[in-house]
Structure 1
């Protein structure tokens, strides 16, 4: 491993821990403002709305400023937005702050750029595995910390301490990047060109395999983001859980992702290939969503969310890797940029829609999500056949 990589992984862990710390609090913090399930889902979607613009802007800016500078500037300002969020005067101010927070947290493309800087192509998949592990560790650690420091009463002061801790973690990541992180390449002084989405859309539409991978990613990530948004409301209604209880449940979610990243995905891809691993991941997602409202116990509620994250961590990194592997080098930037934008649209639009479904019937989002993933699985089956035909033609 390149010695410049561990400081980045530490920064990713700290940053994701701060971001994920907020997640189990949002359903309960929204209730402070008497928010409906639709409005609480907007709190989740608002972050993604800001995030998509942040990913485009900061990815380009990192070419001009350097990765290190972008990291310490954005994470510091993101920390300040958490502090503002803790003292939001009303729901719409809280939503606006989440948009700004998402914009300054949109640095995953910068992290991936740093990884590309320090790792040769033949080691990049393994390096991305380290990145995924740091992400999953942060995702497992943060919600537990948030739950531990949240108060039992649904009042603004019950959430001040954990949200301020999230801000402190983000500022800590900024200081760490400023002191320890070093750029692997000199900044060019100018940003990369914007992705040519129209050209990428025409290219993807003309490629049956790539078009199917886009649809799979869109439906899958939209459904997963929606489950994340309504799970706190559903578990409160069914089990009487507080933010503290939900924080421990999110440990299983992060643990499922970590297990998939460290133990499962490598051997499964080596044995079955990415396309069939996508099918395995989607099957896990459908099973988790269908069983959640049927079994309906606290223990299985946590276990099935862990399975949900395991399926997510198998299916969508494999879809991204397969997409990249079947895209020519000159179209990589625009195609992966289009994929990121497509996934972001799913994370923005789906959670409020699922919040509205929850208001009609609390179990309806699980069945709707399972239906979306089942549709994605049928399309994935077509992708397997297309890939098999392509491989057969090449031999």
Structure 2
């Protein structure tokens, strides 16, 4: 890569990262900004870590020239190892998300987030050691530890709800989703730049892992210093790794949760079908390089930040939540269709912006509907349910998605469009808004 190309890459990635971070940090409202920033940072790093580690593992495991595995290792064996490492994380994330979230209801958000951050650090340390000693077992163990303690998104969502009022809850959740979007931008930038030996020969795939580990330790310090729980806790909780199944069964039995869960699951399943295989599609159709796909992922991050951080409030002032969810899903279906029909790579990438803006809007409103359906002492539990549904969808897509593309390149995306249209119709036809009858939240928030 020439000097001009490297400089252009740096300018593009820095500019889009700056936009994503600005949208997140400077939309903080009037709550305690240090506490809010700490929660936003938790979510940003959680998503960024996945964006850093998955490409690194792809290079280590799949690339036969890397040297991590013997050169004679078959493609089938490499695919098995890669699936084992990534699949173990998603499976343990599914098991741990609801457990950690319910734990936060009992003992407090701060203690639960400390566990999540310590678990993430330990998981990355095991991963770094595994890379250096070339151990598949340690890589899997690192992903298992990180997966079981990857409940920070649901706990952070519940913490935001704790310090919000009924009037600003959806808006504050939107900013949290914007932080998630910034993580989508931050991860590819850190992973791409700090592992690129064309920039500096000493860089490698472990450097971004060191960076995210250091950021997590910083986040832990900020959490201990600036964040405090605002609700009383009971203090007793029995840890049960299999609670995800019983909690989902309880959610299915509860009509107020069941209906929104159906719509939410259809939404995240459809989005995951698109997100995981969008870069493969861009590579096969337009021969996108790593830089091109990184820019596409950054556009997705910026679009989510705009949708969840800036469009939530004006839409909420004019429309009911179910109509916002339904309309946003239809917008997603429309622009994904334009993405598929596009014969021009620039138009294809541009169509991603309104597409993911729609997702940020739909996702945030679904979280708000989940929150509104239960009492204040069950906020962690219901946010854990939402993350369990998300991780369950991710597991399904990981198993079937590659086979779908082998049948027909556009098939995952056509199924995604069909799912979004179905979810849009269900958002109106099902009674997804069934608020819990309680006094309005007025504590620690803006009016």
Identify whether the pair has TM-score above 0.5, normalized to the shorter chain.
yes
Cα pair distance change 1:310/1:22, threshold 3 Å: farther
Distance 2:388 2:380 in 1: 12
Cα pair distance change 1:320/1:130, threshold 3 Å: closer
Question: How far apart are residue 55 of structure 1 and its match?
Answer: 1.7
Task: Show the 5 A alignment for 1:61-100.
Answer: 61-63=103-105, 66-85=108-127, 87-88=130-131, 89=134, 94=139, 97-100=142-145
Partner in structure 2 of residue 135 of structure 1? 180
Partner in structure 1 of residue 223 of structure 2? 177
How many residues align? The count is 379
Partner in structure 2 of residue 105 of structure 1? 150
Equivalent of 2:94, from 47, 52, 56? 52
Give the stretch that moved more between structures: 69-78 or 92-101: 92-101
Equivalent of 1:373, from 401, 420, 427? 420
Cα pair distance change 1:343/1:37, threshold 3 Å: same
Equivalent of 1:261, from 308, 311, 315? 308
Partner in structure 1 of residue 43 of structure 2? 12
Question: How far apart are residue 353 of structure 1 and its match?
Answer: 0.8
Cα pair distance change 1:258/1:45, threshold 3 Å: farther
Partner in structure 1 of residue 214 of structure 2? 168
Maintained 8 Å contact 2:251/2:258: no
Maintained 8 Å contact 1:64/1:188: yes
What is the SS of the residue equivalent to 2:205?
Answer: helix
Distance 2:148 2:290 in 1: 25
CA deviations over 1:167-215 (Å, ceiling 9, x no partner) = 33223322332344334356543138967544432232xx7xx654322
Distance 1:169 1:64 in 2: 28
CA deviations over 1:267-309 (Å, ceiling 9, x no partner) = 1232122122112211222123323332143323322333332
Maintained 8 Å contact 2:98/2:381: no
Question: How far apart are residue 347 of structure 1 and its match?
Answer: 2.0
Question: How far apart are residue 255 of structure 1 and its match?
Answer: 0.5
Gaps of 5+ in 2: 1-29, 65-74, 434-447
Maintained 8 Å contact 2:103/2:237: yes
More helix by share: 1
Maintained 8 Å contact 2:127/2:142: yes
Maintained 8 Å contact 1:37/1:355: no
CA deviations over 1:301-329 (Å, ceiling 9, x no partner) = 32233333212112232233335445677
Give the stretch that moved more between structures: 310-319 or 143-152: 143-152
Give the stretch that moved more between structures: 222-231 or 17-26: 17-26
Task: Show the 5 A alignment for 1:1-395.
Answer: 1-3=30-32, 4-22=35-53, 28=59, 31-32=62-63, 34=75, 46-63=88-105, 66-85=108-127, 87-88=130-131, 89=134, 94=139, 97-151=142-196, 158-185=204-231, 188-191=234-237, 197-204=248-255, 211-325=258-372, 338-383=385-430
Distance 2:137 2:339 in 1: 32
Distance 2:380 2:227 in 1: 25
Cα pair distance change 1:91/1:196, threshold 3 Å: closer
Distance 2:384 2:40 in 1: 23
The two structures have a TM-score, normalised by structure 2, of 0.72
Cα pair distance change 1:18/1:170, threshold 3 Å: farther
Gaps of 5+ in 1: 388-395
Question: How far apart are residue 221 of structure 1 and its match?
Answer: 0.4
Distance 1:307 1:26 in 2: 31
Distance 1:63 1:321 in 2: 17
Maintained 8 Å contact 1:59/1:110: yes
Distance 1:218 1:325 in 2: 18
Please tell me the root mean square deviation across aligned C-alpha atoms, in Å.
3.6
